[in-house]
């Protein structure tokens, strides 16, 4: 029994190497202890010691360095500049679904409930043991892996690399930030994402998105592709998502 548990722990700590954690905590001692404990488990840990620094880190990682977006956020509530509850609210308002583990000295039931109500996934009261913290992190990351791998089929979310499209909500997130698409742009992207790498001619796209009785010409497609590229691509002139297939049309991915 014991050896089975050990095997499982070893496998999980190997998996953990892929995971990046952002630790937002202003107390140096706790921050250092937590960081050491998580690094020993093989996690990549980034830290912020006040609320504003954390928000700046998160926003700039979304804008410029997608590879720095955390898989899990550990969040203290009492922070200078921007408090933990507001950070949590802000992230959820922006559609960010990164799991959040709140760690706080506030232990009353209301604080716990409030933390979960503004979108935190779990709550740990200080002082806590490092074992407990690591176990909670592991559980949250496992849950996230499960939900992201099970959300590909007929559910309402389609994801490809940094783009997620929420069919029923008509929302699109790109590198963690919501972008506004017109109804035609949305339909076009939805069609492309439903058939990755399939090549579509302009006529086929017109028929699928605008309808067979559309009277405009196929330049309309090119214009919409250009607009979509400006909203989706990091470098619209060198697209990575909406690819031109010379002589045929367009494909996605």
Relative to beta strand 177-179, strand 171-174 is antiparallel
185 binds Ca ion (CB under 5 A): no
Residue entry with tokens 């490809």: 160
* Structural contact between residues 175 and 62, judged by C-beta atoms closer than 8 angstroms: yes
The CA distances from residue 138 to 149, 184, 207, in Å, are: 17, 41, 48
125 versus 167: smaller Cβ distance to Ca ion: 125
31 versus 138: smaller Cβ distance to Ca ion: 31
CA gap 88, 73 in Å, rounded: 10
Stretch of 25-33, 64-72, 222-230, 238-246 lying at the interface with Ca ion (CB under 5 A): 25-33
Stretch of 6-14, 75-83, 116-124, 130-138 lying at the interface with Ca ion (CB under 5 A): 75-83
76 versus 96: smaller Cβ distance to Ca ion: 76
As given in the structure block, the two tokens for residue 199 are 């090549």
| Per rule CB under 5 A, count of chain residues that contact Ca ion | 3
140-179 binders of Ca ion (CB under 5 A):
none
* Structural contact between residues 215 and 133, judged by C-beta atoms closer than 8 angstroms: no
Least Å from the CB of residue 130 to Ca ion: 18
Least Å from the CB of residue 114 to Ca ion: 16
26 binds Ca ion (CB under 5 A): yes
78 versus 177: smaller Cβ distance to Ca ion: 78
106 versus 251: smaller Cβ distance to Ca ion: 106
CA gap 84, 54 in Å, rounded: 10
Stretch of 69-77, 93-101, 138-146, 177-185 lying at the interface with Ca ion (CB under 5 A): 69-77
Candidates 41, 71, 76, 121; binder of Ca ion (CB under 5 A) is 76
Other beta carbons within 10 angstroms of residue 143's beta carbon come to 13
Least Å from the CB of residue 140 to Ca ion: 21
Among 162, 188, 166, 19, which residue's Cα sits nearest to residue 99?
19
CA-angle at 6, arms to 134 and 122, nearest 5°: 25
Stretch of 76-84, 86-94, 133-141, 201-209 lying at the interface with Ca ion (CB under 5 A): 76-84
76 versus 185: smaller Cβ distance to Ca ion: 76
Stretch of 23-31, 65-73, 190-198, 213-221 lying at the interface with Ca ion (CB under 5 A): 23-31
CA gap 116, 143 in Å, rounded: 16
Among 164, 134, 132, which residue's Cα sits nearest to residue 147?
164
78 versus 114: smaller Cβ distance to Ca ion: 78
CA-angle at 139, arms to 175 and 71, nearest 5°: 15
Candidates 66, 78, 82, 116; binder of Ca ion (CB under 5 A) is 78
- List of residues contacting Ca ion (CB under 5 A): 26, 76, 78
């Amino acid at each position: 029994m014991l050896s089975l548990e050990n095997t499982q722990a070893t496998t999980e700590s190997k998996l953990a190497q892929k995971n990046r954690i952002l630790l937002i905590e202003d107390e140096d001692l706790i921050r250092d202890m937590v960081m050491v404990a998580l690094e020993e488990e093989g996690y990549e840990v980034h830290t912020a010691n006040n609320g504003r620094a954390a928000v700046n880190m998160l926003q700039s990682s979304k804008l410029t360095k997608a590879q720095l977006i955390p898989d899990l956020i550990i969040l203290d509530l009492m922070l200078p500049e921007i408090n933990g509850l507001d950070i949590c609210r802000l992230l959820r308002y922006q559609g960010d679904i990164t799991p959040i583990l709140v760690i706080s000295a506030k232990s009353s039931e209301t604080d716990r409930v409030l933390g979960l109500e503004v979108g935190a996934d779990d709550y740990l009261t200080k002082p806590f043991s490092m074992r407990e913290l690591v176990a909670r992190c592991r559980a949250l990351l496992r849950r996230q892996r499960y939900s992201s791998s099970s959300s590909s089929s007929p559910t309402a979310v389609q994801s490809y690399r940094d783009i997620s499209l929420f069919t029923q909500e008509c929302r699109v997130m790109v590198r963690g930030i919501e972008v506004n698409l017109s109804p035609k742009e949305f339909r076009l992207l939805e069609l492309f994402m439903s058939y990755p790498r399939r090549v579509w001619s302009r006529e086929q796209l017109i028929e699928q998105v605008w309808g067979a009785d559309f009277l405009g010409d196929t330049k309309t497609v090119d214009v919409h592709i250009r607009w979509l590229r400006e909203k989706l691509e990091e470098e619209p002139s060198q697209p990575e998502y909406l690819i031109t297939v010379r002589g045929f049309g367009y494909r996605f991915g």
